[in-house]
Chains A and B, each alone.
Chain A
Amino acid sequence: MKEGFRQSMAWLHTWAGLLFGWLLFAMFTTGTAAYFQEEISRWMKPEIVATADRAAATQAAARYLQRTQPDADSWFISPPSARNPAVEVFWQPRKQKGEAPRRRKRGENSATLDGQGQPVTARETRGGSFLYRFHFDLHYMPVIWARYLVGVAAMFMLIAILSGVVTHKKIFVDFFMLRFCKGQRSWLDAHNVTAVFALPFYLMITYTGLVTLATLYMPWGIAANYAKPETFFEQAFPGRKEVERTGVAAPLVPLAPLMETASRHFGGAPVGSVRVVHPGDSSATITVTRASSAAIASRGESVVFSGTTGAIVDSGAPPGGAMATQSVMIGLHAGRYADWGLRWLYFLSGLGGTIMVGSGLVLWTVKRRARLSDPARPHFGFRLVARLNIAAIAGLPAGIAAYFLANRLLPPGMAGRADWEIHCLFIVWGAMLAWAVARPERRAWTEGLALTAALFASVPVVNALTVNRNLLTGLLSGDWLFVAFDLAMLALAAAFAVAARKAARGKAARAPRRARGGQDGLAPA
């Protein structure tokens, strides 16, 4: 190429970034929120306040499962933790002969229990886990296609990051030059500052994100060595081998002592989950896995016990270097190991990434607006990008605020309540897109951002009117989750209000600035 490496990378950065910018913005937004998915879930189920001893609660959960699901193929118990006070249980019903595998409805084979093993009645919601799943499964489309789409977007992101580093030659100098209110220059500064601020984080999060679904995106590393991928997984995870049922009934040993033994095995780390395969059969096994909060690696060490004698069957060989690396990479991505300080740092870095993608998208239009042949009537591509930017940057946050509001406002007994909460998110997001298309661009920005601010600001108000846990009661009783959630909503509202104000002001001040736009930008694309 005649212009050399840097220019070609500038071109690549611009177009790779634009093509998947909106999807990446949505992935960054929901992924960032997902670092607090447990907390969001707790806020969305204000009825649940139970806290209990891990071992006692697990034993109580096993009694519940024994009573209600004695014939299940397996049980999975997630004991209460610092971030989730309730016990979550799942079970896998035994497959009947000749029964075709079918998709089960949500809630059909899971339950939320208190410390005494009693089902907790909470409003039906998917809580924070919806935001987490949307981050890579999207919605209203088959999961597998969503994952391919998300993978392609992540690959574009990786290339946009690498080519971006090359393009912004003065990237570290630019970091100290955030110039406010200077039109295009300010957008470029904002893009650079947020990019450099957490560059190692973006590179890490993008690469490890790809690694979480690596065997889906790049199955050929396994296929080159194994005729059947199952063989690979059997060799890689020998503890997961399927065992045949014997058909001989045998009572299950108590879980609490096994959890204690396992915890000693993990060097004192708490237990994260207990899985019972073939409960009530003499072939029963109990797998106790370390809590994900105790180490970075995502694949927790686990100990397998015999379900009838309680003897250790397998304590897991340490994985090889590459498998351990993969486990740590996935762990780094999900951040389940992070305590409060680190969790907030993850959240803020994710927020920085959201702003980096958003400002990059805006920069695309700002830079081209200066060079439009007829600024009053931009060409179709320009209008499309400009409107989609509004729909994405103001629309998705507005949708998330609507999701929280719907959680408080939809009647508790409503049929399909959890689904309707999600529909509300997309209705508001779609309405924002329609608004962005219908209104003049500047006004759409101002109005969209102002509406988003208003929606976030109304969350604490609606919460206080509908639920008896809020900022005030939280401060008085030390219910910090509700204090933090309300404050976070108010902070988001304030940020969007400031953005709306800026957008409104920019309209008046834009004309004189246009003359010098495009001079100090990057190589034109």
Chain B
Amino acid sequence: MTAEASSPARYRWTVAARALAAIPLNYLLTSIVVGLLARHLPLNPVEASAAATLASFAIFAVIAMAVFQARSAGRAWLWMAGATLVLGGLLALSIHLGGRL
């Protein structure tokens, strides 16, 4: 991820942008995915919650790697923000319609 930027300052900004997408935004997205899995895996609620939680670290790691592998920081952000909005909306809808225990 060195050649993307033409100047050192620009390079630092793109690293910072990716790090923001790969850590805080990734945590938000992973939490949403885990929430959706916990609600919709075909298991009882205890089991589904546990299974989704167990998978969470793998999900986070894969997304983080994907963000640093993306062609540009902008693309990474676009994908991350898009997925967060869409899946977050689905989770909100699922909780709104199905309720919680």
Contacts and interface: CB of A to CB of B under 8 A. Distances in A.
Contact of A12 (B35, B51, B68): B68
Nearest to A215: B53
Contacts of A323: 46-47, 50
Contacts of A321: 43, 47, 51
B31 to A, nearest CB: 4
Interface in A310-350: 320-323, 325-326, 329
Contact of B53 (A222, A226, A231, A235): A222
B61 interface: yes
B16 interface: no
Interface stretch (A2-10, A33-41, A47-55, A379-387): A2-10
Interface stretch (A157-165, A368-376, A398-406, A408-416): A157-165
A162 B57 CA distance: 12
Interface string B51-74: 111101110110011001111100
Given A9-B69, A11-B1, A12-B68, A224 B35 contact: yes
Contacts of A218: 30-31, 34, 53, 56-57
B37 A221 contact: yes
B101 A226 contact: yes
Interface residues of B, number: 41
A162 B66 CA distance: 12
A382 to B, nearest CB: 16
Which of B4, B30, B38 has the most chain A CB atoms inside 10 A of its CB?
B38
B45 to A, nearest CB: 4
B99 to A, nearest CB: 9
A226 B95 CA distance: 10
A185 B44 CA distance: 53
B38 A159 contact: no
A232 B54 contact: no
Interface in A43-86: none
A221 B43 contact: no
Interface string A190-230: 00000000000000000100110011011011111111000
Interface string A484-525: 000000000000000000000000000000000000000011
A476 interface: no
23 contacts: A1-B1, A1-B3, A1-B68, A9-B68, A11-B2, A159-B64, A207-B57, A207-B58, A214-B57, A217-B57, A218-B30, A218-B56, A221-B49, A222-B53, A226-B45, A226-B100, A232-B45, A320-B46, A321-B47, A322-B51, A325-B50, A325-B54, A525-B2
Interface of B: 1-4, 30-32, 34-39, 43-54, 56-58, 60-61, 64-65, 68-72, 91, 95, 100-101
